[in-house]
Amino acid sequence: MHNKTVAELARDLSQGTYSSVELTQHFLNRIKQEDTRYNSFITVTEDDALRDAKAADERRSKGEATPWTGIPFAHKDIFCTNGVRTTCASKMLENFVPPYDATVTARFRDAGAVCLGKTNMDEFAMGSSTENSHFGATTNPWGEKLVPGGSSGGSAAAVAARLTPAATATDTGGSIRQPAAFCGITGLKPTYGRVSRYGMIAFASSLDQGGTMSRTAEDSAMMLNVMAGFDPKDSTSVDQPVPDYTANLNAPLKGLRVGLPKEYFSDQLDPVMAQTVRDAVREYEALGATVKEISLPNTHLAIAAYYVIAPAEASANLSRFDGVRYGYRCDNPKDLMDLYTRTRAEGFGSEVKRRILVGSYALSAGFFDAYYLKAQKVRRLIQQDFVEAFKSVDIIMSPSTPSPAFALGSNTDDPVKMYLEDIFTIAINLAGVPAMSIPAGQIKGLPVGLQLIGNYFDEARLLNAAHQFQQATDWHQQSPAG
């Protein structure tokens, strides 16, 4: 059962091959047996999952099933879950139990899906390796001395290890696509505003976006059918019609115009990685697509702009954690200032502190214009690059990452080197366009991701292109040893 996709499991449940209770128990058993190797889950909700699975079976017996009724999945531990602790992998929220559901959580619950638990992540989604977790690092199923990527590494590792058929995730600068590439699965970051951020604990409010982790593009389409849509509770949610993302998955790709940005294929890209990606692009040509070189001239400014804007927004968002209202509180504070300073010093990890300090500096008097305002102007230039590019192409393709998964601990002492791991993904968040990573090859036995970038609210085209590639290749069917 654990080697089947969401679509296959949904068909089996509808045919009565097994019950949701049996399916859910199977995955819970796998988590118990296997996750000591990966540490992909922070919280496993066994009792709740079995209760929801039983309810799903009853719902199905009454003829009230949706495609997701009884399907197990997992939530990244950044989505609030009513009555279940939501930690953001931080000591600050180690014992926080929300009294409400995030909109994404509520939509999966309404669809009848069964949540197995909450997955590990970099603390407050700040990181590219899932090593910055208060609950310990997650390891990559493709090699237990390798990182799974981050910040959604727990979700990616759990899907790759077949501990869950699918998982939710979030992406602020590549936190879905990079771990998806490292773990050999499919990850989709929708257009900013396509998925509600209500109840998704904020890192950088103008960049964060909820998305999907799954084995296939078809499964991602099924997930997005549940997640997408306007939410009046979220002021950044866009009131745009939501198509059925599974409807056009099988449309032919003849005439698809693909752009390859020359800035992403420079001499700095490892030749083996470049060749692997170009081989995948040739597969698209065989499927009927036409390929041309394009330019995104301001790409080289993306990392600098991102690491001003994101920390600035983080410093504002995380100021709410002061030991007064909720979350961790230091012992025996002498006064209010001592309460604030010791609570934050003890509650936040080193990477979170680093970004708060950088962000506070960028927003301080005398530096706001020089750093934050200038970064926002650069962001507009990057956004305009994509607007111009999509006048002549339908999809942009690039590597998802500069290399396959790197070793645990290899970048922890060099924050700048770690930040450069997101070199191919950050510009997409600054522009707000959708993008996804799909398995497209291997280097020395480790998976490599192909990044597909689309125009605003054109997720259906991305999913169609990804699905057709997966019908023609078997990279998405490869699994880690064991």
pLDDT digits (tens, 9 = 90+) for 292-327: 999 999 999 999 999 999 999 999 999 999 999 889
For 16, residues 6+ apart whose C-beta sits below 8 A from its C-beta are none
**Residue range 370-385, pLDDT digits in tens:** 999 999 999 999 999 9
Q: 210 is written with which tokens?
A: 């909820």
Which of left, alpha, beta for 25 (phi over 0: left; psi -120 to 50: alpha)? alpha
**Residue-range domain boundaries for the chain:** 1-482
Between 420 and 259, where is the model more confident? 259
Do 174 and 426 meet the contact criterion of CB atoms below 8 Å apart? yes
pLDDT band, residue 111 (cuts 50/70/90): very high
Homologous superfamily of 1-482 in CATH? Amidase signature (AS) domain (3.90.1300.10)
Active site residues: 76, 151, 175
Residue 380, Cβ neighbours under 10 Å: how many?
A: 13
**Would you say residue 268 has pLDDT above 80?**
no
Dihedral of CA atoms 125, 126, 128, 134 in degrees, nearest 10, equals -80
> What's the pLDDT score for residue 308?
96
For helices 217-227 and 103-111, the axis angle rounded to 10 degrees is: 110
> What's the pLDDT score for residue 347?
97
Residue 146 forms beta bridges with which residues?
407
Q: 83 is written with which tokens?
A: 């009555």
> What's the pLDDT score for residue 325?
87
pLDDT band, residue 1 (cuts 50/70/90): very high
> What's the pLDDT score for residue 420?
84
**Would you say residue 481 has pLDDT above 90?**
no
pLDDT band, residue 160 (cuts 50/70/90): very high
Q: Concatenated DSSP letters for 84-121?
A: B---TT-GGGTT---SS--HHHHHHHHHT-EEEEEE--
Q: 4 is written with which tokens?
A: 């089947």
**Would you say residue 208 has pLDDT above 90?**
yes
Residue 370 forms beta bridges with which residues?
none
How far, CA to CA in Å, does 41 sit from each of 8, 22, 120, 172, 324?
Answer: 24, 21, 5, 21, 29
Q: Which pTM value belongs to this model?
A: 0.97
> What's the pLDDT score for residue 416?
82
**Residue range 25-62, pLDDT digits in tens:** 999 999 999 999 999 999 999 999 999 999 999 999 99
Q: 115 is written with which tokens?
A: 């949540």
Secondary structure class of 189 (helix, strand, coil)? strand
**Residue range 409-445, pLDDT digits in tens:** 998 888 888 888 899 999 999 999 999 999 999 999 9
> What's the pLDDT score for residue 366?
84
- Which phi and psi (to 5°) does residue 438 adopt? -130, 150
- Which phi and psi (to 5°) does residue 472 adopt? -95, -15
pLDDT band, residue 267 (cuts 50/70/90): confident
